[in-house]
Structure 1
Amino acid sequence: MNDKINQDSINKALWNACDTFRGTISADTYKDFILTMLFVKYISDVWQDHYEEYLQQYGDEPELIEEMMKSERFVLPKSASFYTLWEHRHEPGNGERIDQALHAIEEANGTKLKDAGKSVFQDISFNTDRLGEEKQKNTILRHLLEDFAKPELNLRPSRVGSLDVIGNGYEYLIKNFAASGGQKAGEFYTPPEVSDLIAELLDPQPGESICDPACGSGSLLMKCGRKVVDKHGSKKYALYGQEAIGSTWSLAKMNMFLHGEDNHKIEWGDTIRNPKLLDKHGTLMLFDIVTANPPFSLDKWGHDEAKNDKFGRFRRGVPPKAKGDYAFILHMIETLKPKSGRMGVVVPHGVLFRGSSEGKIRKQLIEENLLDTVIGLPEKLFYGTGIPAAILIFSRNKADDSIMFIDASREFKAGKNQNLLTGDNIRKIVDTYHAGADVDKYAYVADLDEVRENDYNLNIPRYVDTFEEEEEIDLLAVRAERERLKAQLNELEGEMVKYLEELGYGA
């Protein structure tokens, strides 16, 4: 099939495959089945394409071709190929066969799909009672295999070329699952426009290390890497991440693989209680760029253990038990390189002004001259919550002790359920940030003394005056207009009386 690739048709075919599960299990559950099957289909198509190329090149030399295939990016046992599963789809045991195929793929690819003994597919089983009794489960999975065998989902490199339709399709699915995922959506996805904005603000350079300690499905992390490619034509960067939820960690690993991001290290575990990104001495690794969209005001984040944190992350103070926002901020600060380190973090607005222990931590970070910029975002940008958020930019290498405030809360494209940042909205924020100057009713640069006078409260309206004065009313003009309208009304009433008399309705 050599028809022109169309991203929309691929996305539509992928979304239609979800119909197989709708009405049986929730989207939060079936997203893992759909995304895993896309992964298996993709590697099967790549393998098959390359095998046929070698067959055409070397003829019927199975041993030689088998040797050539060993240099592929991954190994695919024949029994684990999508096409083997598809051929047996009418037979009983589809769930068991798919699970066995996933296990075979893991075993054949060593550490690529594993991390400290945890496998990418460990939390995913197609042979589950959640799909119903055996007969129903077998039928559902047969339909799923048939959906992915459709011509639109022919993902062979000879058809796809250099286009990133696989990675784009994966991101499309994740975005749609997030949009329909309710409260849990924010656990694994940052809207692409917000990721774009943060990546532009942090401006990653070739050779830099980039970390997201709450990486979800990895979209924000990869956007930062993509900026290095787009701006500098270089893939010389390293991506690091950690994710607490096992199934979401699996999504991130598959996402990296599908986007061709081989230079990455994504750990599974709780970043606050058990940070995994450590150097050879057992201390926290340091990075040029640290960025995250951590869970807002996380309850039970690890308050009791924080007092005795062996990494010293909470020496400025321990955040409150029921709000973990500053736990993530403090962890991220500690992982910045001393001179080049810069950081962008998404937070709820309460972080800017809440008092008590959070107020003390905020004061300390400001007095250490780490906070660079506060950016207020519009409401309803994030999945799972309608509240407006802010982006905080921190830097280890500030030029002065001022803090810039940008109020971008009123500039967005309104959507039915979700608002969007447009390209123009993003450019205005980034250009304003780089200019570093006041913009009437949009941006303000406050010196440290002014922030001190405000008792370290960073609430944006304290600094950016967005008040619009009402236009002064000219009472004489209003009176004249009133007199004119009265005269016009009298004239109309006179004409009406004449018409009524002509019709025989006169007094």
Structure 2
Amino acid sequence: MPHSPINQQEINNTVWKACDTFRGTVDPSIYKDFILTMLFLKYISDMHQDKVDELSKQFGDNPAMIEAMMASQSFKIPTGSTFWDLYEHRHEAGNGSRIDQALHAIEEANGTKLKNVFQGISFNTDKLGEEKQKNDILRHLLEDFGKETLNLRPSRVGSLDVIGNAYEYLIKHFAAGSGKSAGEFYTPPEVSDLLSILLEPEEGDQICDPACGSGSLLMKCGKQVQKNYNGSKKYALFGQEAIGSTWSLAKMNMFLHGEDNHRIEWGDTIRNPKLQDGNGGLLHFDVVTANPPFSLDKWGHEDAGNDPFARFRRGIPPKTKGDYAFISHMIETLKPGSSSKQGGRMGVVVPHGVLFRASSEGKIRKQLIDENLLDTVIGLPEKLFFGTGIPAAILIFRKRKTDDKVLFIDASREFQSGKNQNLLTTDNIQKIVDTYQNRQTVDKYAYLATLEEIQENDYNLNIPRYVDTFEEEEEIDLMVVRSERLALQNELANLEAEMAGYLKELGYE
């Protein structure tokens, strides 16, 4: 039977509607893991079944050959562990334990590829209620994902990235609807697009996000390489994420987007950086980018003075604000570059306080500027990020700059207004990119500042100190205003006289 045509919006809506099974019973911060994991399981099961059917056509009378061919596949699902095995038994007791067993079996069968990915996710949890309620919820969930709309077989999907798109769609909606903490694992796509263009990832680059969340920013950088190098996937993605469940999302996200060349570590980047070389030193990258948590409290201040990687040699950030802890880490992981290859470049999203706060942050900022590492400061509009309405900025650093100046761009006033969230349009992004690449002063929008000017401002990077956006009010001609007022008075007197005449005709004196 031919498959119905694929429709991205229909898939997105169907998956989002599956959340109705949990709404009113379970908090979104909990059920997002169930929904995203089930989408992953459904996709790999459909992919598995598609391959089985394809081999059955070739070797229909030789089940041993089919089994041997499936065993040689790069991704394996043990017998009895597919989505459809679970679906078949959905009316029986024990849905939670069966799903957990299937996920564990899949993890075990695929070695390092999915090692520990499902360990923080249990469908057999009391958070879904008592046994009967839990079993009913999971039965409904299996039925939601068993609909023909969510037939995700490669023979139906083709080369379209509908699964990856649906995953990103879900992650975005969970971030938008679940408050500040949920927003930490997701960077709005427009900001990811902007960063990936500004940082110019090249073929062969190693790209890192030390606070990678669900991995969307990393994958945007990969897509940029593919776009600019005829679909090339000659690049490597590296990341680290502190929250276990979010790390799992990143691993699944990479798989669903076909990003095979990646290394995503689980752990606290500041306290325990996992991306190390064979000698125990930090790995170095061509591109480093991140949207780390803003002004993180308890970031690891107590151990920073004895950091074995000397990341805080320019100064130790304040105890209750970890912004410069992430910046310092990222700077230390940039490649120096060479005459034949541009050096490491870095883009980080920060709150505006990073631009002007004094004390230890001021000292770190001064040294970064004096070392000629800071390249560009970009002010973004407010309400772009989930969970916070405050405006943010992007800082671009480069190891091999061609001048000793800093470009300031004030893009804070140009955006598309939304009900709860503002957006950067394609034109907004292009204007920022063009200004960044031209590296020249633009009236009311950008200013190329010399080191001396920044020094005169005591290394304060507050954008209004450099980009004058003041619009002079048009001079008022009082004689014109007086003549307009007299004309209005005459018009009013004529109207009064006309009205008096009408009233007189009607018998009113």
Fold shared by both chains (TM-score > 0.5)? yes
Which residue of 279, 282, 300 maps to 2:280? 282
Q: Deviations over 1:18-65 (max 9, x none)?
A: 000001111110000000000000000000001101101222211111
Structure 1, unpaired ranges of 5+? none
Aligned residues: 502
- Tell me the residue number matched to 2:240: 242
- Tell me the residue number matched to 2:199: 202
Mapped to 1, the partners of 2:11 and 2:74 lie a distance apart of: 24
The letter of the residue matching 1:258 is L
Q: How does 1:33-182 map to 2 (within 5 A)?
A: 33-114=34-115, 119-182=116-179
More displaced, 227-236 or 8-17?
227-236
Asked if the contact 2:43–2:153 (Cα under 8 Å) also holds between the matched residues in 1, the reply is yes
Mapped to 2, the partners of 1:311 and 1:94 lie a distance apart of: 48
- Tell me the residue number matched to 1:30: 31
- Tell me the residue number matched to 1:316: 314
Mapped to 1, the partners of 2:414 and 2:37 lie a distance apart of: 37
CA drift of 1:69 comes to 1.3
Asked if the contact 1:242–1:269 (Cα under 8 Å) also holds between the matched residues in 2, the reply is yes
The letter of the residue matching 2:130 is E
The letter of the residue matching 1:185 is A
Which residue of 193, 200, 208 maps to 2:190? 193
- Normalised to the residue count of structure 1, the TM-score between the two structures is 0.98
- Whether 2:202 is the aligned partner of 1:219: answer no
- Whether 2:508 is the aligned partner of 1:502: answer no
Q: Report sequence identity in percent.
A: 74
Per the alignment, in what secondary structure is the counterpart of residue 499 of structure 2? helix
Asked if the contact 2:199–2:287 (Cα under 8 Å) also holds between the matched residues in 1, the reply is yes
The letter of the residue matching 1:78 is T
Per the alignment, in what secondary structure is the counterpart of residue 79 of structure 1? coil
Which residue of 246, 249, 252 maps to 2:250? 252
Structure 2, unpaired ranges of 5+? 338-342
Mapped to 1, the partners of 2:354 and 2:74 lie a distance apart of: 44
Mapped to 2, the partners of 1:3 and 1:193 lie a distance apart of: 32
Mapped to 2, the partners of 1:231 and 1:208 lie a distance apart of: 13
The letter of the residue matching 1:332 is M
Q: Deviations over 1:312-345 (max 9, x none)?
A: 0000000000000000000000000012200000
CA drift of 1:186 comes to 2.2
Which residue of 327, 334, 337 maps to 2:335? 337
Q: Deviations over 1:293-324 (max 9, x none)?
A: 00000000000100000100000000000000
The letter of the residue matching 2:347 is G
Asked if the contact 2:176–2:183 (Cα under 8 Å) also holds between the matched residues in 1, the reply is no
The letter of the residue matching 1:261 is E
Mapped to 2, the partners of 1:71 and 1:198 lie a distance apart of: 39
Q: Deviations over 1:125-147 (max 9, x none)?
A: 00000100000000000000000
The letter of the residue matching 1:432 is T
The letter of the residue matching 1:428 is K
The letter of the residue matching 2:104 is H
Asked if the contact 1:186–1:295 (Cα under 8 Å) also holds between the matched residues in 2, the reply is no
- Tell me the residue number matched to 2:18: 17
Per the alignment, in what secondary structure is the counterpart of residue 238 of structure 2? strand
Which residue of 305, 308, 321 maps to 1:307? 305
- Tell me the residue number matched to 1:264: 262
Mapped to 2, the partners of 1:122 and 1:108 lie a distance apart of: 14
Q: How does 1:339-488 map to 2 (within 5 A)?
A: 339=337, 340-488=343-491
- Normalised to the residue count of structure 2, the TM-score between the two structures is 0.98
Mapped to 1, the partners of 2:72 and 2:215 lie a distance apart of: 27
Q: Deviations over 1:413-453 (max 9, x none)?
A: 00000000000000000011000111110000001000000
Q: Deviations over 1:394-426 (max 9, x none)?
A: 000100100000000000000000000000000
Q: CA RMSD in A?
A: 0.6
CA drift of 1:230 comes to 1.1
Mapped to 1, the partners of 2:336 and 2:187 lie a distance apart of: 28
The letter of the residue matching 1:262 is D
